[in-house]
Amino acid sequence: MWCDCFTGPALRANHRDYNQVEMDVRRSLRRFPKGMAEGERSVLQGQLTDMILYVLRNNPELHYYQGYHDIAVTLLLTVGVRMATAMLQTLSTHHLRDFMDPTMDRTRHVLSYLMPLVQCESAGLHDFLLRSEVGCIFALSWLITWYGHVLSDFQQVLRLYDFFLASHPLMPVYCAAQMVLMREEEILQCDCDMPSIHQLLSNIPPHFPYETLISRTHAFFQKHPPCEVERQASLQRLKSISAASFRSLQISASQQRPDSMLRQQNPPESDIVSLHSQNTLVKLAVWGLSASLGAAALAVTQTALEWGPELLMGLF
């Protein structure tokens, strides 16, 4: 996956996105641990630039977006450049694919699930948000960075990444809707106008109960799958590439499981199980856990690190 011949000036030369990637990487200083030596951080920033350009050059149909580097740096700091590059390539062609079109049409399509999902659980909160005209832009950076840009606690970021890696590509927008629902009482006590609601929702409480959020989001997804939300909210105008390619990723992941490999070499007659009967979450979780095992292990050793809040990203 990674080769020295694809790093440095040879990789960066004449790449259409190099200048923007380089600017974003330079602005990502606060994503690195406090106290890290400047030389070490500089090396990591160079690796970050190269891994992003490597994936983009290998997949010319993908277009860089501001916020992509937030996902890349989380992977790099957690599992190292080689595994991070492999993970970023897979995520870019599956979970993140909708964000990597030349236009933001599919990104807006993913965002458009947010309000119908809120309406599924609380019509009153949904109507209040509509009256405030807050829209869904407050959640944009949540989705396109998998919350890596807006959370200051790196352990919280890693926990969400583990969840999203093992889940459907639309799970981050379900998570956003659930986060809004969990703050319903606080929202309804706020002035019903766009500036007030936008400011409230843009600032995630520092001690938000993320384990509860993850548990409720998973149950929320099971209760209201994407196909149901699409029908109810007439969201079928534009299809999600990420969601459409999810099945192929599941099949690929199931074929890479160690037990599947052993069965292929010596399949016992009594243990032949249909692929369609396997639990969907378990199949993808195997891929997610294998890819993010390093994340969980390194997270334990990084509990002493403090991550500061970042400036709001200019997305438009």
Q: Give the end of a domain, one of 216, 247, 278.
A: 247
Regarding whether 61 and 124 lie in a shared domain, the answer is no
The span from the CA of 154 to the CA of 156, in Å, is 5
Average pLDDT over residues 222-238: 77
163-192 pLDDT, tens digit per residue, is 999 999 999 999 999 999 999 999 999 999
Regarding whether 210 and 173 lie in a shared domain, the answer is yes
Q: Comparing 249 with 212, which gets the higher pLDDT? A: 212
Residue 224: is its pLDDT beyond 50? yes
Please report, as a single letter, which amino acid is at residue 240. S
Q: Is residue 268 part of a domain?
A: no
Regarding whether 130 and 81 lie in a shared domain, the answer is no
Q: What is the pLDDT of residue 229?
A: 87
Average pLDDT over residues 72-79: 96
Regarding whether 138 and 71 lie in a shared domain, the answer is no
Q: What is the pLDDT of residue 16?
A: 85
Q: What is the pLDDT of residue 239?
A: 61
Q: Is residue 265 part of a domain?
A: no
User: Which of the residue ranges 76-80, 106-110, 267-271 would you say has the lowest mean pLDDT?
Assistant: 267-271
Contact between residue 249 and residue 287 where contact means Cβ atoms under 8 Å apart: yes
102-160 pLDDT, tens digit per residue, is 999 999 999 999 999 999 999 999 999 999 999 999 999 999 999 999 998 999 999 99
Residue 28: is its pLDDT beyond 90? no
Instruction: Please report, for the domain that includes residue 124, its CATH number.
Output: 1.10.472.80
The span from the CA of 299 to the CA of 78, in Å, is 7
Q: Is residue 306 part of a domain?
A: no
Regarding whether 217 and 120 lie in a shared domain, the answer is yes
Helices 18-26 and 68-79: crossing angle in degrees, nearest 10, is 60
Q: What is the pLDDT of residue 31?
A: 87
Q: Is residue 61 part of a domain?
A: yes
Above pLDDT 70, what percent of the chain? 69
What does pLDDT average to over the chain?
Answer: 79
Regarding whether 241 and 137 lie in a shared domain, the answer is yes
With bands split at pLDDT 50, 70 and 90, how would you rate the model's confidence at 58? Answer: very high
Q: Comparing 46 with 315, which gets the higher pLDDT? A: 46
Closest C-alpha to 74, from 140, 15, 148: 148
Residue 29: is its pLDDT beyond 60? yes
Q: Is residue 66 part of a domain?
A: yes
Q: Dihedral sign for Cα 250, 256, 257, 260, please.
A: positive
Range of the domain at 115: 104-247
Residue 88: is its pLDDT beyond 60? yes
Q: Give the end of a domain, one of 187, 218, 247.
A: 247
In angstroms, the Cα distances linking 305 to 31, 78, 154, 296, 301 are 11, 13, 8, 15, 9
Q: What is the pLDDT of residue 110?
A: 93
Q: Is residue 20 part of a domain?
A: yes
Q: Comparing 40 with 7, which gets the higher pLDDT? A: 40
Regarding whether 128 and 89 lie in a shared domain, the answer is no
Q: What is the pLDDT of residue 192?
A: 96
Predicted model pTM: 0.75
Q: What is the pLDDT of residue 33?
A: 85
Average pLDDT over residues 5-9: 54
Q: What is the pLDDT of residue 34?
A: 84
Residue 59: is its pLDDT beyond 90? yes
Residue 1: is its pLDDT beyond 90? no
Instruction: Please report, for the domain that includes residue 84, its CATH number.
Output: 1.10.8.1310
Regarding whether 74 and 127 lie in a shared domain, the answer is no
Regarding whether 237 and 160 lie in a shared domain, the answer is yes
Q: Is residue 83 part of a domain?
A: yes
Q: In sequence order, what are the residues at sequence separation of 6 or more whose Cβ sits closer than 8 angstroms to the Cβ of residue 47?
A: 7, 76, 81
DSSP 275: G
Q: In sequence order, what are the residues at sequence separation of 6 or more whose Cβ sits closer than 8 angstroms to the Cβ of residue 228?
A: none
Q: Give the end of a domain, one of 62, 93, 124.
A: 93
Please report, as a single letter, which amino acid is at residue 303. T
Regarding whether 203 and 183 lie in a shared domain, the answer is yes
Q: What are phi and psi of 240, to 5 degrees?
A: -85, 120
Q: Is residue 99 part of a domain?
A: no
Regarding whether 161 and 79 lie in a shared domain, the answer is no
Total of domains in the chain: 2
Q: Comparing 193 with 284, which gets the higher pLDDT? A: 193
With bands split at pLDDT 50, 70 and 90, how would you rate the model's confidence at 13? Answer: low
Q: Dihedral sign for Cα 197, 199, 202, 206, please.
A: negative
* DSSP codes joined into one string, 259-313: HHHHHHHS--GGG---GGGS-HHHHHHHHHHHHHHHHHHHHHHTTT------PPP
Regarding whether 144 and 74 lie in a shared domain, the answer is no
